[in-house]
Amino acid sequence: LALEGDLRRALVQNEFVLHYQPQIDLRNNRVIGTEGLIRWQHPVRGLVSPADFIPLLERSGMIISVGEWVLHQACKAHRDWRAAGFNDIRVSVNVSATQFNDIDLLDKIRYALREEDMPKHALELEITENILMRDPAGATEVLESINGLGVRIAVDDFGTGYSSLAYLKRFPLDALKIDQTFMTDLTDYSGDAAIVEASISLAHKLDMEVTAEGVETNTQLEFLRTHDCDVVQGYYFCRPLPMPELTNVLHEKT
Ligand code: G
Ligand code: G
Ligand code: MN
Ligand code: NA
């Protein structure tokens, strides 16, 4: 409860910061994009995990304004990367349930693209499969309007919720992100391996790019390479980093 009061001031007091985690294209081992991940630098408690405050933001409705801040921040970062010569990179942001159901979402995306001079195809929205499946018919409309803007859409945390395969085919989706829980036991004969292999092949057959999240070891990486995964993200390559450090990584790996 104390945290909730502090959260009300966090935005105006500039206590939020967006970190960025690189996503590596396995075809050329270069950074193809980054995922923006919010952090809260609390004046007394220090760094607070989004797992602890995103639910509070959701409950209070504050996620709407914080979500807009995230969107603008990611587009500003992208402008800096372009200015440094990284023109082929993308940036992804996570969209929560409340944001996804906000009737002004499309206007807010349009506004951010215009205000921050953002190339629309370079922006990707990550939406969890649970959000999409809550009301598939409603979700289809929202996704189609986002897709109509030219902004990319990725299904986040794939495999942990209840996806209807029929809807996966019907939704206008660009990418599928396999949840990190499936990486833990990624050896050739495990159940996780079967799920990851099947997810990659499903994504490709539905014409989607596929990203593996939470890649921490070379064994996992080699498995993903062998099974034709497109993009990988995880501590094995890089943690989420604040802006100046991330730009240094781009200079090394792009
Ligand atoms: O970065 P970390 O693993 O601590 O993030 C924990 C959770 O918080 C993840 O589920 C992630 O998707 C979510 N999260 C991180 N940044 C954002 C954000 O900007 N918006 C929303 N809605 N969720 C975020
Ligand atoms: O829910 P979502 O996929 O958006 O959140 C991704 C979360 O996973 C972020 O909080 C990020 O910090 C975290 N993360 C990123 N790479 C790794 C990894 O290799 N291992 C683990 N355990 N977590 C990771
Ligand atoms: Mn995500
Ligand atoms: Na995820």
CATH number, domain containing residue 189: 3.20.20.450
What local confidence, expressed as pLDDT, does residue 97 receive? 96
Does residue 45 sit within a domain?
A: no
Does residue 70 sit within a domain?
A: yes
Give the count of domains, the chain.
1
Residues with CB under 6 A from ligand 2: 21, 37, 94, 126, 156-157, 180, 213-216, 234-235, 240
Residue 54, ligand 1, Cβ within 6 A: yes
Residue 98, ligand 1, Cβ within 6 A: no
Around ion ligand 4, residues with a beta carbon closer than 5 Å are 156-157, 213
What local confidence, expressed as pLDDT, does residue 3 receive? 85
What gap in Å lies between CA 160 and CA 205, rounded to an integer?
20
pTM above 0.95, yes or no: yes
Reported ipTM: the value is 0.97
List of residues 6+ apart from 47 with CB closer than 8 A = 39, 40, 41
Taking the chain (254 residues) in consecutive chunks of 10 residues, what is each chunk's mean pLDDT? 86 95 97 98 93 94 97 98 96 97 98 98 97 95 98 96 85 97 86 94 96 97 97 98 94 86
Does residue 183 sit within a domain?
A: yes
**Is the distance from CB of 57 to CB of 64 less than 8 angstroms?**
no
Does residue 205 sit within a domain?
A: yes
What local confidence, expressed as pLDDT, does residue 1 receive? 63
Does residue 187 sit within a domain?
A: yes
Q: Helices in 61-122 by DSSP H: which ranges?
A: 63-83, 97-100, 105-115
Does residue 29 sit within a domain?
A: no
- Domain span at residue 136? 60-238
Does residue 48 sit within a domain?
A: no
Does residue 14 sit within a domain?
A: no
Q: To test the ligand 1 pocket, which listed residue (94, 128, 179) has its Cβ within 8 A of the most ligand atoms?
A: 94
Ligand nearest to the CA of 158: 4
What local confidence, expressed as pLDDT, does residue 138 receive? 96
Specify the 3-state DSSP secondary structure of 171.
coil
